[in-house]
Structures are given as structure tokens and as C-alpha cells.
A and B are shown apart, each in its own frame.
Chain A
Amino acid sequence: MSHTSLTTTPVDAQGAGGGGALPRGRRFGAETVFRGAATAAGSMVLVIIVAIAIFLIVKAIPSLRADHESFFTYQQWFADSSPAKFGIAAIAFGTVLTSALALLMAVPVALGIALCLTHYAHRRVASVLGFFVDLLAAVPSVVFGLWGRDYFYRPVSDFAKWLHDNFGWIPLFGSNGPYGRSILLGSIVLAIMVLPIVTSLSREVFLQTPTQNEEAALALGATKWEMIRTAVLPYGRPGIIAAVMLGLGRALGETIALALTLGAVYNVSFDLLGPGGNTIAANIALKFGEANPTGRSALIASGLVLFAITLVVNMTARAIVYRRREFTGGAA
């Protein structure tokens, strides 16, 4: 028996243009305008980034010249005194530490919520829960800051005491009080603020998983969790990384909530429980009002460092995604 025999039907070769010669090329005015507009919009991003970088560098130089200490290793911040003595070490360290701790706490929970919303919860429950997650994102950061400073510090202090009593032998939990505005408090508040962003984005990512891949895993005898591990998480990997990066971007730049919940102490310390912690953004918010010209320039220099940290973090994330591009299945 032969395979399907195919007969070709003649297609109308004339097409819509009729029998005449091919029409001459036309100028598409709208095409040109739109292409120009899109290109301009795209270039604008570059222009803005470069403008910000130039602004930061130019404004930072005077204070760096005036600094009587090493900018990168000195921990204190006496930018307004004369001679000016200030360094980025403590606040850059504090920025990275609080953000890292916040992500460490927020990302697993966010991924859990997103998986629950997309794969476990009943559709109606999921939509209600999703609404509350989005609502959490709408709370202004100053409100989180006040809440953390005036109310939430109490349970966190109890938790800090418990951590010290039980795990005090770990240097991170070495402080025996007083417990209040600490790196722990700041990073928990920050985690709560980052949570909705990472959750909403990873929920969108998980919804993109092709049904056929999920079914392939189930048909191999995977349980739901195994299916998620085999099909959903690997497929969503680039998207999860992007979601985490956006969360990290918010965490690194978060200002007022941390200005209110951290201890504003200038030292490089892994003590999470005692009074302490400071970040570049919080330091700018706290100092900018009464800063003299050199002080302002010094704060701008710290902003330049924050800009650089964010840039490095984003480029690292891109590199991670790019390295696995052949295995992303078009999700990248």
C-alpha cells in the first residue's frame, strides 16, 4: 500500500494584483514614521543611562578629591566635617547584606506562593490570593518602614532573642541585645516588600509552561511535585532569575523603609541581631538634608557605587541566562 498520494491543485498565479506588471515599490510613510519612533524610544534608554552615569561621576569627583580616607575601605561617614573623612565600605556592605538576606527569605516563599497559585490552589482561591499579593505590592514603602519601626520590631526582637538563646554559638546571632532596629528587622521588612514582585513575576512565568511539557512529565508517572521539578521549574528558570533580579533591584535601592528600620551604624559587621545596619540609599536619605556641598558630593559618590553594584548584578544574571540559552526552550 502506498503512502498518501498528493495531487497539486493549480494556485491562482495572478493573485490580487490582476494580470498586469508587478506594481512599483511604494514609500510607506507610516512605516518610516513608526520605525523612527521605535528607534528613538529605544535609544532614549541608552541616553538616560549614560546621562545618569555622567551626572554621578561629575558630581562625585570633588568629594573624592577632598576625602582624607580611602573611599573604598573606610567605614565611617564624616563627609561634612573638615577635613572630610568618609568611605563606602560599611554602607555598601550593609546594602549587599540586607538585600541578600531579604532575597534569601523572600525568594523561596515567593516561588512557593507562585506555584500554589498556578498549580495547587483552586482557581477561585488563587485569584483571591493573587489579588492580595498584588495589594501587598501597592503598600507604600514608608508605611512598611513605620510599621517595621513601631510595631513589627517587637515580634522580631522576640525572634532575635530566641535565635540568640538557641543558636548564639553562630557568630551571626552572637549579640545578646538590646534587640530592636537591626539588620534582621531591616531585611525581614525588605523581604516582605520584595515578596510580591517576585511572586507576581514568577506566577506569570509558571503560567507560561507549555501544557504539553507538563503532560509529558505526568505521563511518565511523575507526581505533581516531580512534574513541577521536571517541567515547570527548569522551563521557568530564566524567568525566575529575571524575577529575582527585579526583586534585588528593589531591595538594593530601597530607601525609606530601611532608613526607618536599620540602626544607621557605620561598621562592617555580620551581627544580624544587635542594633546596626545601614545601606547606601538609606544613608543618602538620612544625610542629604543637612549635608554641605562636599557632603552632597560624597553622597552622590555613594550613589555611583550603588549604580555600579546594580549594574554588575544585572550583568551577572544575564550571563547566567545566556550561558544556558540553547536549553531555555524559547523562554529566555
Chain B
Amino acid sequence: MAKRIEAVNVSAYYGSFRAIDNITMAIEPKSVTALIGPSGCGKSTFLRSINRMHEVLPGAKVGGQLLIDGQNIYDRDIDVTAVRRMIGMVFQRPNPFPTMSIYENVVAGLRLNGVRKKSLLDAACEKALRGANLWNEVKDRLNRPGAGLSGGQQQRLCIARTIAVEPQVVLMDEPCSALDPISTLAIEDLIAELKNEYTIVIVTHNMQQAARVSDRTGFFSIDKTGEPGRLIEYDDTAKIFTNPSVKRTEDYITGRFG
């Protein structure tokens, strides 16, 4: 259950502003790919164009092709909700539905898919919470509000909600930036486990995190403010962090970025 993603000349726009320009990269199934780069370089925009969440914003558009196992998700006759069910997303700030219990949060996606049977929902809920390493902490209070958990637990709840619908790909947009180091470690351990089943793309500002969790790393950058972001270098994580082939990558990861 994991798919290969291939971006071919993907550009994304906010109105007339081009945020990313001609990104071409292939993401292998059952691997973790990290996207790093300075603020405003378009890595989150690129991530959001992988599950067609970019176009949710008013005036936002995407050009180019994004192939999931060879099929372009931007084809005219593609059902965008099917794309998003196949490609789940975890956001920067934990965003459980505040009006729902822990249980209802986890099964929200299944309910959207029309699953009504209690036994199926119960089983999926437990499986997803176990998958997100949260089951033991919440199994006795599934009917309590999801928003009552700690930040790290909320983020794992969001991961459980995402994997409950059994997507092929999980996108993570700086999933640990609002979390303390212990919670961050828990999420990173979880990413290492999820890799066995899902294709994972993670945007992070934390270079140690990229080095710890990812197999491949893409470095995005911009020439100056107002210019579109570009993919500068994309290679195995070990190579990017020890022996990058582009000078700008090296400057960035060694902190000499200017």
C-alpha cells in the first residue's frame, strides 16, 4: 500500500505570483522523503500540490503534471476528493476537530467514506490509534474531546485520523514544529514505522530531523524574495548532509546560508 509519486514540471501560483517553478522529482514508495529549505522557498506549497490542497486557497493554481503510479492527478476528469483520500495530510499545527471526541476524530474520514457499521469503525479506530502509537494513552477515554489531549498527543491523533482511511501516501507539513522535543521524538519514531506501509513526504525546518527520519532529501530555495522557489538538489539524505554536490545546499546545511 504505497505509491510512487512523480512530479513533472510542477509550478504553483497564488493569483499571478508564481510560488514554485518547474519542480521535477520522483518519490519512491515506502520511503521517507524530506523537503528542506528556507522559509518561503515553496516546499509547503509543493507538498500541498501533491494532494491538491493548494488549490483550496482562493486564486491558487497548479501547472504541470503530478503522477501517482503513472496517473496524473491533475487530469480534468479526476475526482479531487478521491485524490485526497488516497493522499493523506498531517498539518503543521495539530488540528483535531474540536467538536468531536477522540473516537469520532479517528473515524471522521471513514464516516465520510460512508462506513456506518459500528464494528468496522471500532476496529479501524483501534488499528489507527495503535498505528499512531496513541492507543495505550487514550483507550480508556475514547469519548473524551480530542482537543483535550496534549499537543503531541493531538498530533498523533491527527496522524491516526489520516491513516485510518488507509491512504497510499502521507504528507506531513512540519508536523513537529509546534511540539516539544519528547513529542517530536515520538512522532519521528512513528514516521520510521509508518514507512513500512506508506510513502511519506515530510516538510521540515529542522535539518537534524530531516537527517534522522528521511531516506531522500530535496533542498528547495529561492534566489530572492518575490522569485519562485526551485528544487536545488535532490539526493539520498546521507549524501545531501555529508557531501552535497551543489554549493548552495552545502551553504544551507552548514548554516552559511545568506
Q: Which of B58, B81, B91, B212 has the most A CB atoms < 10 Å from its CB?
A: B81
B208 to chain A: which residues have CB within 8 Å?
1, 3-4
Q: Measured between alpha carbons, how far is A230 from B85 in the docked complex, in Å?
A: 15
The interface stretch among B18-26, B68-76, B96-104, B218-226 is B96-104
A234 to chain B: which residues have CB within 8 Å?
97, 99-100
| A-B CB pair tally, cutoff 8 Å | 90
**Nearest chain-B residue to A230 (Cβ)?**
B108
Verify A219–B88 contact, CB threshold 8 A: yes
Does B95 reach chain A (CB closer than 8 Å)? yes
Q: Measured between alpha carbons, how far is A237 from B206 in the docked complex, in Å?
A: 39
Q: Which of B109, B148, B212 has the most A CB atoms < 10 Å from its CB?
A: B109
Quick one: which of A209-223 are within 8 Å of B by CB? 210, 212-213, 215-223
B82 to chain A: which residues have CB within 8 Å?
221
Verify B212–A1 contact, CB threshold 8 A: yes
B206 to chain A: which residues have CB within 8 Å?
4
Q: Measured between alpha carbons, how far is A328 from B100 in the docked complex, in Å?
A: 9
Quick one: which of B46-87 are within 8 Å of A by CB? 51, 53, 56, 58, 81-85
**Nearest chain-A residue to B144 (Cβ)?**
A326
Does A235 reach chain B (CB closer than 8 Å)? yes
Interface residue from A210, A217, A220, A328 paired with B165 (Cβ < 8 Å): A220
Chain A: minimal CB distance from B60 (Å)? 13
A150 to chain B: which residues have CB within 8 Å?
none
Verify A230–B148 contact, CB threshold 8 A: no
Q: Measured between alpha carbons, how far is A165 from B89 in the docked complex, in Å?
A: 55
Given contacts A1-B208, A234-B100, A327-B100, contact A221 B56 (CB under 8 A): no
B211 to chain A: which residues have CB within 8 Å?
1
Chain B: minimal CB distance from A323 (Å)? 13
Does B151 reach chain A (CB closer than 8 Å)? no
Q: Measured between alpha carbons, how far is A218 from B89 in the docked complex, in Å?
A: 10
Does A226 reach chain B (CB closer than 8 Å)? yes
Verify A221–B53 contact, CB threshold 8 A: no
**Nearest chain-B residue to A219 (Cβ)?**
B89
Interface residue from A123, A223, A226, A231 paired with B97 (Cβ < 8 Å): A231
Q: Measured between alpha carbons, how far is A327 from B148 in the docked complex, in Å?
A: 9
Verify A327–B98 contact, CB threshold 8 A: yes
Chain B: minimal CB distance from A230 (Å)? 6
Closest 4 CB pairs of A and B: A329-B98, A221-B85, A234-B99, A212-B95
Binding site for A on B (CB under 8 A): 51, 53, 56, 58, 81-85, 88-89, 91, 93, 95-101, 108-109, 112-113, 144-145, 147-148, 158, 161-162, 165, 181, 184-185, 206, 208, 211-212
Binding site for B on A (CB under 8 A): 1, 3-4, 123, 210, 212-213, 215-223, 226, 230-231, 234-235, 237, 326-331
Question: Can you name 14 extra interface pairs (CB under 8 A) apart from A212-B91, A215-B56, A218-B84?
Answer: A3-B208, A210-B95, A212-B95, A215-B53, A217-B108, A218-B53, A218-B56, A220-B109, A221-B113, A235-B97, A327-B101, A327-B145, A329-B147, A330-B98
